[in-house]
Structure 1
Amino acid sequence: MLSAKSLFQEILDNDESFALFCSIAAGGEAQGGWENARIAALVPASERDLAPKITRHGADEDKHGRIFNALMRKRGLDPVPVPPETDYTMLLERAGIGLAHDRLERDEPLTVRDVVVHLAHSRVTEQRAAEQMELLRRHFADHPDLGRAVRMISRDEDAHLAYCHEELLRLARAGHGRTIRRTLRECALAEIRVYRDVSLSVMAHMGGLLHWPKAKSAALAAGIHAVYAYERLGGRRRMVSLRTPERRNALGGPAESAPEFA
């Protein structure tokens, strides 16, 4: 029987598939760290109070990248090239979601609208990240090698999501509600499409490494398409709603270090 736990256990047990999984994850986290660092440096004067939180977000992402690389080192593995079709962050940028890298590479202050776009993009992608890490935490929180890493990253992703909710609600009260709603919808529609495509590509690569039979690969692909259909029909609403988080000021302090992983 196919299950999320059994599939990930297969990936975990094989060095090649585990190295690919960690390399994809580490690359995405490192990219998120760079983006947040640049945004923090360029926020407009009216939003300077937000800069430390964006910096903290970026530091967390950098830490997660180091953790995934450390997990590979612990197994005596080296990072492997990330196939372009599995690069979630790059594909989102190509879809026009978030702030373009050429914009972030210029030393020009961002606008408040740019900050809104960034936070809306983060709101959608952090929802996905929090859900994925919650799934891993549910099944592998007590794993001797992965457990501590999974718990730490999951806790951080929950904090990132709470921060996005809180800041977007603040900006909505300041008069940006219409822009926020429109941007969240655009980001969610693009994200579910990119997530589907990346999921199909990742599963195809994993299937090749693990020699999955065609029937198994077909069943997994059908499941991915079913998730996309559900999200396209309305399941994405969880990505665009805003609510006051239970945890307030979730990124109000320094990033938690992870010396045992770094």
Structure 2
Amino acid sequence: MLSAKSLFQEILDDDESFRLFCSIAASGESQGGWENARIAALVPESERALAPKITRHGADEDKHGRIFNALLKKRGLQPVLVPHETDYTMLLEKHGIGLAHEKLKAERPLSVQDLIIYLSHSRVTEQRAAEQMTMLRKYFGDHPVVGKAVKMISNDEDNHLAYTHEELLRFAAAGHGRFIQRTLRECALAEIRVYRDVSLAVMDHMGRILGWPKAKSALLAAGIHSMYAWERFAGWRRMVALRMPERCDALGGPATTAPEFA
């Protein structure tokens, strides 16, 4: 039976597919760590209270990158070069989602609108990350190899999502509601396209590594296209809704460490 659990188990059991999976994940997390660190350094004076939370967000992303690399090391594997078409973070930037790297590499302070763009991008992508980690936690939270990592990263992603809700609601209360909703919608519609394309590319690479028959690959591709159709019709709305989270001030403290992985 083809299921999310059986699919990931197959990827986990094979060295080459596991190496590609962890390499893609580590690369994206490390990129997110760099982006958050630069944003924290460029926060305008009027919003300096936000900088420690952005720094914490970036530190968590860096930690996740180290965790995925540590999982490879424990298995005696080295990271591989991430194929261009599977680079979710880079492709989002290419499609104009989030803050351009040129802006982050400059030394000019960001504006409040820049921060809203950053938070909107994060709110959408953290929704995706939190959902994926919830699924992995359900099926592999007790796994002897990846269980601890899955639980730790899942908890962090939930914190990140809560933080974006809270901060965007604060900016909405300050009069930026229309800009926030417009930006969230643009981010969500672009993200679901990029996620579809990256998912198809990742499954194509995994299929070749694992020797999947054409029928299996076609079925998975059809499932990805069906998910995109649902998200394009209505599913994207879950990525733009804002509500006060149960975890308030979720990034208010220092970043947690992962000594058993790093």
Is the TM-score greater than 0.5?
yes
Amino acid at match of 1:249: D
- How many angstroms does 1:183 deviate by? 0.2
Residue 85 of structure 1: aligned partner: 85
Correspondence 1:96 to 2:84? no
2:245 counterpart SS class: coil
Q: Which string of whole-angstrom CA distances, capped at 9 and with x for unpartnered residues, describes residues 73-130 of structure 1?
A: 0000000010000000000000000000011000110000000000000000000000
- Paired letter, 2:204: A
Aligned to 1:204: 204
Q: Name the aligned partner's letter for residue 109 of structure 1.
A: P
**Distance of 2:257 and 2:81 partners within structure 1:** 27
Q: Which residue of 1 aligns with 2:230?
A: 230
Superposition pairs of residues 29-44 of structure 1, within 5 angstroms: 29-44=29-44
Question: Following the alignment from structure 2 to structure 1, what is the Cα–Cα distance between the partners of residues 116 and 7?
Answer: 37
Distance in 2 between the 1:161 and 1:98 partners? Answer: 16
Q: CA deviation at 1:215?
A: 0.1
> 3-state SS of the aligned residue for 1:215?
helix
What's 1:188 paired with?
Answer: 188
Report the counterpart of residue 76 of structure 2 in structure 1. Answer: 76
Q: CA deviation at 1:9?
A: 0.3
How far residue 167 of structure 1 moved from its aligned partner, in angstroms, is 0.2
Deviation by residue 1:212-231 (Cα, 9 ceiling, x = unmatched): 00000000000000000000
Please give the secondary structure, in 2, of the residue aligned with 1:236. helix
Counterpart of 1:170 in structure 2: which amino acid? R
Deviating 4+ runs (over 3 angstroms): none
Give the Cα–Cα distance (whole angstroms) in 1 for the partners of residues 78 and 198 of structure 2: 22
Show the 5 A alignment for 1:1-12. 1-12=1-12
2:152 maps to what in 1? Answer: 152
Q: Secondary structure of the residue that 1:125 maps to in structure 2?
A: helix
For 1:180, give the aligned amino acid.
I
CA distance in 2, matches of 1:75, 1:133: 21
Q: Which amino acid aligns with 1:179?
A: F
Q: Which runs of 5+ in 2 are unaligned?
A: none
Matches within 5 A, 1:132-171: 132-171=132-171
Aligned to 1:221: 221
Q: Which amino acid aligns with 2:43?
A: V
- Percent of aligned positions that are identical: 77
| Secondary structure in 1 matching 2:59 | helix
Match of 1:18 in 2: 18
Q: Deviations over 1:7-33 (max 9, x none)?
A: 000000000000000000000000000
Match of 2:242 in 1: 242
The 3-state SS of whatever aligns with 1:117 is helix
Q: Kindly state the Cα deviation for residue 35 of structure 1 after the two structures are TM-superposed.
A: 0.1
Instruction: Look up the match of 1:128.
Output: 128
Unaligned runs of 5+ in 1: none
Q: Deviations over 1:202-249 (max 9, x none)?
A: 000000000000000000000000000000001111100000000100
Corresponding residue for 2:66? Answer: 66
Return the alpha-carbon distance in structure 2 between the equivalents of residues 162 and 190 of structure 1.
22
Q: CA RMSD in A?
A: 0.3
Tell me the TM-score normalised to structure 2 length.
1.00
